[in-house]
Structures are given as structure tokens and as C-alpha cells.
């Protein structure tokens, strides 16, 4: 082995360090919940995708443990060989019932679901039109599919229409791909306009409900339900790892779409079936989503309370809330340095929030996510902490 063949890795890491873009994970101790322990400090958790507080729910843990006792820890093979269990079908049927579709298919992660679904639905002769703010897994899927892929400006429907007008007729199939809730902004896609365009230009639509499922809609089915488009022919994609507190991804849609994916999605065919524990935990979560709408109500109550309080305390201050329609709430900052200082200051006050910076997003922001299991005290603590940090930040900038 010639070690110099690997020397570029250290050079590349050093470049990341110099650009202040090197990142490493921080250990979090204890069970998932509205507070977290880090290096012995307890912080209120505004970092989590566990919107309904189910990842630490004892009922999910009990379902996972029971599944391990009856089936073991591993699925032992791909679903088409030895890895298919009755639990998998129960979960797929429960997802289809929630989404109001004929069928569903479960993948080992949401990332893999997007990668393999795009890879199966489109190829070199085809066109993918995608929102520029889509999740990385949709971008990766468009790339590996080999299709021509064009990003339209965020939620920019006239640009999407221009692309359809100019390019659609040069391609065999067309797929419009969009997040339903944009994960780094918290706003929603204009689904009605997308569906109208898709119909006029004979395009398929894939909607990624990673942050919508369990959170939006009267039954928690997602943004498609919330906006009144249940029953429209769509490729519904989502993950079991956010509001559903488990691990895995899914696609829901027509029986033929799902049958096609079982035959053509290589990230489903050539990978081991979802583990019995993850499958059973997600199934238990779907039951709770159906039976405890009060969790969603409490989450939305928190969202409107926090937005109202933030607008009140931030009035006249240099930091403002970005447009959002979800439990993902962002505060815009002028620079990466300012947002990192704010995060650090908030951490000292016992508040864990995310500082999201370019190149992940075009402009720096603090990102907060709410959970149904936050207490009123947690929200008050956050509002007071933010007011203090933003006032101090403004004074140190002007002084
Ligand atoms: C988290 C996320 C995914 C990936 O899901 P995993 O199950 O975590 O792999 C896909 N799309 C969006 C929009 C996401 O936020």
C-alpha cells in the first residue's frame, strides 16, 4: 500500500478546518426527550426531529423489545429472499391507510427511499425538476438516476413552468420533486400550483413528507392531507425517523407504483429488510398518531405561542423570524460568526438550538424545532433566553 495515495484526505480535512467548515458530532446522553444531557449539562432540546415526543415513548420501546423477542435483532436478508416478516406488511398497510393510498413500501432509511425511488422512476431520457432547497437525498437521487436535472428557485412556480415549457417535450418522463416542509426554513411547498402544472405537462410529482408526516393534517397524514390533496396520484415519500420516532423510510402510492418499486428500486431489492425492532416501533407510533390527536394539537399550540411571543420580544430588534408554517422556526442572522455566538450564549443559558450556516443554507440562521412534549416552562425559558441573547448581541455590535 502506498500511503501517499491517501495523503489528499489530510489535506482535504485541513482545508475544511481553515474554512471553519469542519464538523464533528457531539455526544448526547440519556433517553430522547424535550431535554437533553450533554457533558453533564441539562439543556432544553430545540434540536430534535422527534416532533411528537415518541422516540422516548415506553410504548414504542415495548413494541421494539417484543419484536426482538419474537423475531430476533436482524431481518437476516433482503425482503425478496429471507427478510420479509408479517410486521413489514403490517407497517406498509398502516402507512398506506394513513396516506389514503393503495399501498406502501418501507426502506431502511428515508435517504435510501429517495435515492432508490428516483433511480427507479427516471433515467437518462428523463427530466427531474426540483426545488433548490430540497433535501440532500432528493438531490443525490436525481444525480444517480442519470436524468437531466434542473433546480428551480425555491417555490418559484413561474420558473418551474418556464422549465416545463422549454424542456418537457425533449424528454420521455418528467418528475417534479419537492419537500412538503422545507427542513432548513420550515415553510411549505405550493402544492396546488405544482399539481396543476404537473397535470398540464404530464409530469409525476414526488413529495417528501419527512417533516410533514405525523405533524400536519387532521389525521397526521401530512401536508398533502393538510392542503386537501388526498387521493391525487402522487409519489408520497417520508421517513419513520422523525415524528414516528423510529428508523426507516417509505413510499406510498398506487398499487402499481409500489409493485414497480419492489421490482426496480435497487436500494430495496439489494439491502436487508428493516429490523424487527424498528418496524414494530414505527407501527406502534402510527397507532399513537391515530389515537392521540392531542399530541398534534399540543405541538401546534406551542408553534403559535412561540411565534406570537417571538414577534413580540423581537419587535424593533435586528434579528427576525423567517417565514415558517411548521414546528421548524428560524431566526435570520447577518453572519456565520453572529449565529455561532448566539448559539454559544444560548447554550450557556441551558438552551440547545442549531446554528445553520452556508453552504447548508444561503444565509445563517438559528433553527429551533418544537416538540409536543415541551412544557410551557421550556418555551418561556427559550423566549427569555433569545430576548436576552439578541439584545446583548445588538449592544455588542453597536458598542
Ligand atoms: C431527514 C430527511 C430525509 C432522510 O430521512 P432519514 O430517514 O433520516 O434517512 C429525507 N428528506 C427530508 C426532507 C429529510 O428531512
98 inside domain: yes
| Domain contains 18 | no
Q: What is the pLDDT of residue 2?
A: 61
Split into its structural domains, the chain has a count of 2
pLDDT tens, position by position, for the chain (399 residues)?
567 999 999 999 999 999 888 888 989 998 999 999 999 999 999 999 999 999 999 999 999 999 999 999 999 999 999 989 999 999 999 999 999 999 999 999 999 999 999 999 999 999 999 999 999 999 999 999 999 999 999 999 999 999 999 999 999 999 999 999 999 999 999 999 999 999 999 999 999 999 999 999 999 999 999 999 998 999 999 999 999 999 999 999 999 999 999 999 999 999 999 999 999 999 999 999 999 999 999 999 999 999 999 999 988 888 889 999 999 999 999 999 999 999 999 999 999 999 999 888 999 999 999 999 999 999 999 999 999 998 887 777 654
By the 8 A CB rule, do 195 and 112 touch? no
Instruction: Please say if 345 is a catalytic residue.
Output: no
62 and 41 within one domain: no
- Inter-residue contact 367 to 330 (CB < 8 Å): yes
Task: Give distance in angstroms: CA of 244 to centre of ligand 1.
Answer: 12
Q: Is residue 211 annotated as a catalytic residue, yes or no?
A: yes
Assess whether the C-beta atom of 250 lies below 6 angstroms from ligand 1.
no
- Does one domain contain both 201 and 126? yes
Nearest to 212 by CA among 227, 198, 223: 223
Domain span holding position 97: 58-291
What are the φ and ψ backbone dihedral angles of 372, each rounded to 5 degrees?
-60, -30
CATH of the domain at 31: 3.90.1150.10
Do residues 323 and 236 share a domain?
A: no
Q: Hey, what's the cell of 235?
A: 409519489
Last residue of a domain, one of 256, 291, 326: 291
> What span, in angstroms and rounded, lies between the C-alpha atoms of 389 and 349?
9
Nearest protein Cα to ligand 1, atom 6: 110
90 and 38 within one domain: no
266 is catalytic: no
Check whether residue 202 and residue 138 sit in a common domain: yes
User: 307 in a domain, yes or no?
Assistant: yes
Q: Residue 248 Cα, ligand 1 centroid: separation in angstroms?
A: 9
Q: What is the pLDDT of residue 1?
A: 52
Same domain, 69 and 203: yes
Is residue 2, in this structure, part of any structural domain at all? no
Do 35 and 81 lie in a common domain?
A: no
- For ligand 1, atom 5, which residue shows the shortest CA distance? 110
Give the closest residue (by CA) to ligand 1 atom 8. 110
According to DSSP, residue 318 is labeled: S
Bridge partners of residue 148, in order along the sequence? 127
Domain boundary among 291, 313, 340: 291
Shared domain check, 266 and 245: yes
Phi, psi at 330, each rounded to 5°: -120, 145
- Residue 332's pLDDT is 95
Pocket test for ligand 1, best of 131, 239, 356 (most atoms within 8 A of CB): 239
Instruction: Quickly list DSSP for 273-311.
Output: PPPHHHHHHHHHHHHHHHH-HHHHHHHHHHHHHHHHHHH
Interval between CA 21 and ligand 1 midpoint (Å): 22
Longest dimension (CA), the chain: 68
Q: Give the mutation target among 55, 107, 111 for probing the ligand 1 site: most ligand atoms within 8 A of CB.
A: 111
Dihedral of CA atoms 245, 250, 252, 254 in degrees, nearest 10, equals -160
How far apart (Å, rounded) are the C-alpha atoms in residues 235 and 177?
9
Contacts of 39 (CB under 8 A, 6+ apart): 27
d(CA 282, CA 140): 25
| Domain shared by 341 and 257, yes or no | no
- The best mutation among 106, 115, 183, 356 to test binding of ligand 1, ranked by most ligand atoms within 8 Å of the C-beta, falls on 183
Domain annotation covers residue 9: no
Residues 287 and 332 both lie in one domain = no
Q: State the cell numbers at 1.
A: 500500500
How many residues are there in the chain? 399
Query: Is the minimum distance from the CB of 110 to ligand 1 under 6 angstroms?
Result: yes
CA of residue 107 relative to chain centroid, distance: 15
**Closest ligand 1 atom, CA of 112?**
9
Q: Are residues 287 and 331 in the same domain?
A: no
| Residue minimizing CA distance to atom 1 of ligand 1 | 210
Closest ligand 1 atom, CA of 247? 7
- 67 found inside a domain: yes
* One-character DSSP codes across 248-276: -EEEEE-HHHHHHHHHH-HHHHTSBPPPH
Q: Is residue 1 part of a domain?
A: no
What's the 111 CA to ligand 1 centre distance in angstroms? 6
Task: Determine the pLDDT at residue 236.
Answer: 98
Catalytic residue among 183, 241, 275, 324: 183
Q: Which residues contact 20 (CB under 8 A, 6 or more apart)?
A: 336
Boundary of a domain, candidates 291, 324, 359: 291
* Residue 12 in domain: no
Cα dihedral sign, 387-389-393-399: positive
Question: Is the domain of 114 the same as that of 246?
Answer: yes
CATH at 265: 3.40.640.10
Amino acid at each position: 500500500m502506498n500511503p501517499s495515495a491517501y495523503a489528499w484526505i489530510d489535506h482535504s480535512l485541513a482545508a475544511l478546518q481553515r474554512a471553519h467548515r469542519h464538523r464533528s458530532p457531539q455526544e448526547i446522553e440519556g433517553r430522547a426527550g424535550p431535554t437533553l444531557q450533554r457533558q453533564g449539562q441539562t439543556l432544553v432540546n430545540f434540536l430534535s426531529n422527534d416532533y411528537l415526543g415518541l422516540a422516548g415513548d415506553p410504548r414504542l420501546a415495548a413494541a421494539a423489545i417484543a419484536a426482538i423477542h419474537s423475531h430476533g435483532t436482524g431481518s437476516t436478508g433482503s425482503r425478496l429472499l429471507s427478510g420479509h416478516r408479517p410486521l413489514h406488511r403490517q407497517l406498509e398497510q398502516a402507512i398506506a391507510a394513513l396516506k389514503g393510498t393503495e399501498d406502501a413500501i418501507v426502506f431502511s432509511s428515508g435517504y435510501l427511499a429517495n435515492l432508490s425511488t428516483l433511480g427507479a422512476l427516471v433515467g437518462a431520457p428523463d427530466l427531474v425538476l426540483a426545488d433548490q432547497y430540497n433535501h440532500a437525498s432528493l438531490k443525490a437521487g436525481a444525480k444517480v438516476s442519470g436524468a437531466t436535472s434542473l433546480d428551480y428557485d425555491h417555490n418559484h412556480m413561474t420558473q418551474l413552468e418556464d422549465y416545463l415549457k422549454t424542456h418537457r417535450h425533449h424528454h420521455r418522463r418528467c418528475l417534479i420533486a419537492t419537500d412538503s416542509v422545507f427542513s432548513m426554513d420550515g415553510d411549505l411547498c405550493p402544492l396546488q400550483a405544482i399539481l396543476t402544472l404537473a397535470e398540464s405537462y404530464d409530469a409525476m410529482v414526488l413529495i417528501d413528507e419527512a417533516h410533514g408526516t405525523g405533524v400536519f393534517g387532521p389525521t397526521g397524514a401530512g401536508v398533502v392531507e393538510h392542503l386537501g390533496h388526498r387521493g391525487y396520484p402522487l409519489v408520497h415519500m417520508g421517513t419513520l425517523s422523525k415524528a414516528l420516532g423510529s428508523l426507516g423510510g417509505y413510499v406510498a402510492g398506487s398499487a402499481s407504483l409500489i409493485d414497480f418499486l419492489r421490482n426496480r428500486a435497487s436500494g430495496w431489492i439489494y439491502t436487508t429488510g428493516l429490523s424487527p425492532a424498528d418496524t414494530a416501533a414505527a407501527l406502534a407510533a402510527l397507532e399513537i398518531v391515530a389515537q392521540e390527536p392531542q399530541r398534534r394539537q399540543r405541538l401546534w399550540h406551542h408553534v403559535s405561542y412561540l411565534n406570537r411571543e417571538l414577534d413580540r420580544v423581537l419587535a424593533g430588534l435586528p434579528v427576525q423570524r423567517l417565514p415558517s408554517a411548521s414546528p421548524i422556526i428560524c431566526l435570520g442572522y447577518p453572519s456565520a460568526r453572529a449565529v455561532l455566538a448566539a448559539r454559544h450564549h444560548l447554550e450557556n443559558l441551558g438552551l440547545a438550538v442549531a446554528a445553520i450556516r452556508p453552504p447548508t443554507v444561503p444565509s445563517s440562521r438559528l433553527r429551533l424545532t418544537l416538540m409536543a412534549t415541551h412544557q410551557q416552562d421550556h418555551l418561556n425559558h427559550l423566549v427569555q433566553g433569545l430576548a436576552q441573547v439578541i439584545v446583548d448581541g445588538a449592544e455588542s455590535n453597536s458598542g
